[in-house]
Structure 1
C-alpha cells in the first residue's frame, strides 16, 4: 500500500502535511485521559495514533518470591528503572507485609519514574534521586555520590540490565536483584503486518523482543523507529533496525516531544 501525505493544521490554522506519515504505532496502552499530549500531537499533524502494548507484565507471587531468599528490609537503597518495577516492588511488600524504612533512598533512571513514586510514598519526606538524561551513565553518576555504606536492591524482571549489575559489582556495591515480575510477549503479528505503520515507537527492550518473537523475519522497509531510553536504543540497534527518533534527549525529554520534532521536520 503506498504512503501519501495527509493534511494537518499548523498553529496559525494553515494546512500542513506530513510527508508520507499517516499511521503511528505506540507500543503502550492508550492514555486514559483525552487531555494526553499524544492526542494534541495527533490533531496538530492530523496523523492516526494506534496504541497497542507489545508485552504484558505478570507479577511473580510472593510465595514464589520467597524462594529467592532476599530480605528486603535489610537493604537501604532501591534502584528503579521503570514504573513496572515500582508497582511490583510495593505490591510484593504489601503482600508480604513488609514495612519500608522512611530512610530508604530511591535512585531512578528518569525524573518521570521518580515522580511515579508519589503513588506509594510521601515523596518530599523520602530521599529520591534520578539521572539527568535517562541514561545509565547519569544514573550511575547519581548513585556514585551516595553509594557509601548503602545496600542496593535492583527490582527487575527476568530481563535485568546487566550494565547496571556490572557497574554495581565493579564499584564494590553490595546489591541484590529481586525478580518481581516477568514480561510476556503479546500476539502482534496481524497488527504489525496489516497496519501499514509509518512509525513504530518502543519503550522497552522487551517490546523490541516481542516484535522479533512475533515476526522473526521483520524488515523495516522504510518504517521509522522511535525508542525511549538507552536500553531500548541498544535493543533496536542490536535487532539490526535503524533508529530515527530518540527520547529522552536534551531537546526531547519525552516520546511526545521527540515525535513532535520529528513530524515538524517532515512537514511542508
Structure 2
C-alpha cells in the first residue's frame, strides 16, 4: 500500500504554512482537498423549539468559529441584544480573537484554553463556577463537554445552533485516491450516500477522533489510521507517520 494521492475531506487550508503542504513536498505525494460536509444555520423557528433562553445565561462556551458565527447570527434573527456583561470561554486563542468580528474584545470577559482542547479550558471555567454557561453546538456532537461540566457541577445548557449536512458530488467526480481522510461522522455518511458502490480494496482510510472512527467501522469500511490520540494528536502528524511507514520502498 503505497500512498501517492490523498484526499482530505475539508476545504483547502488558507495558510501556505499548513503541514499538509510540507507533507506533500516531503514525500512527493499529491494532496487534494474536497469538503464532504457543509455547515448550515439552524432556522430561528427550529431553535425556538429547544426552549432555550439565551439571556438566562451569563457566559458562552465557544468550540469553533462556526459556533461564534451562528450564535451571533441567531441572536440577530431573534432580535436579542447580547449584554456587555456576557463572558466568553473559547477552546483556543484563535477562536477567542475571532469574537472581535461581533463584540469588542476585552480580556476581562474573553477567556481561552492553551491547547484548543476542552480539558485544558475546563480549569479556566472552574475559576468562574457561578456563571450560567450556554454551549452552542452542532447537531452532530459528542457529550465530552456536557459530561465534564456535569461532573464539576457547572450550570450549563447545550443548544443546537447549526447543523452539519452532506454535500452532493457531481456524477463525474471519482475517488481515484490511495487514501481518504475524514473528520466527522457526517463526512463518512457523505461518502456512503454519494458512492454507494464504493469498494475500499487497497484504499487507506484515516480519520480524526473516536466518533468518526466508529462511523467508518459502522459503514463496513476498514480504518487504517486514527488521529486525535495521545500518541498522534493531530491528523497531519498521523498522516506524516503513515506515509513514512508505507512509502519506505
**Contact persistence 1:78–1:152 (CA under 8 A):** yes
**Contact persistence 1:76–1:103 (CA under 8 A):** yes
Task: Compute the displacement of 1:180 (Å).
Answer: 1.4
Partner in structure 2 of residue 83 of structure 1: 65
Matched residues in 2 for 1:232 and 1:131: separation? 25
Matched residues in 2 for 1:129 and 1:32: separation? 23
Matched, 1:180 2:150: no
SS in 1 for 2:164: strand
SS in 1 for 2:187: helix
Task: Compute the displacement of 1:132 (Å).
Answer: 5.5
**Contact persistence 2:40–2:163 (CA under 8 A):** yes
1:136-157 alpha-carbon deviations (Å, 9 max, x no partner) = 7x36954784573332222122
Partner in structure 2 of residue 15 of structure 1: none
1:62-105 alpha-carbon deviations (Å, 9 max, x no partner) = 45434434222322333334432232123323443532545514
Give 2:228's match in structure 1, choosing from 217, 232, 248: 248
SS in 1 for 2:168: coil
Partner in structure 1 of residue 50 of structure 2: 68
Task: Compute the displacement of 1:124 (Å).
Answer: 4.0
Structure 1 residue ranges without an equivalent (≥5)? 1-18
Matched residues in 1 for 2:158 and 2:152: separation? 16
SS in 1 for 2:180: strand
SS in 1 for 2:38: strand
1:23-77 alpha-carbon deviations (Å, 9 max, x no partner) = 1111111223444332232222221212111111111234543443422232233
Give 1:207's match in structure 2, choosing from 170, 174, 187: 187
Give 1:117's match in structure 2, choosing from 80, 83, 96: 96
Query: What is the TM-score when the length of structure 1 is the normalising length?
Result: 0.72
Matched residues in 2 for 1:133 and 1:241: separation? 30
Give 1:148's match in structure 2, choosing from 120, 129, 133: 129
Partner in structure 1 of residue 111 of structure 2: 128
Which of 124-133 and 227-236 deviates more?
Answer: 124-133
Task: Compute the displacement of 1:119 (Å).
Answer: 1.3
Task: Compute the displacement of 1:240 (Å).
Answer: 4.0
* Equivalenced residues, count: 243
Matched residues in 2 for 1:123 and 1:224: separation? 46
Matched, 1:236 2:216: yes
Query: What is the TM-score when the length of structure 2 is the normalising length?
Result: 0.77
* TM-aligned CA distance change 1:216 to 1:156, over 3 Å: farther
SS in 2 for 1:177: strand
RMSD across aligned positions (CA)? 3.4
* TM-aligned CA distance change 1:155 to 1:125, over 3 Å: same
* TM-aligned CA distance change 1:141 to 1:224, over 3 Å: farther
Matched residues in 2 for 1:123 and 1:242: separation? 47
**Contact persistence 2:59–2:132 (CA under 8 A):** yes
SS in 1 for 2:205: strand
Partner in structure 2 of residue 58 of structure 1: 40
**Contact persistence 1:57–1:183 (CA under 8 A):** yes
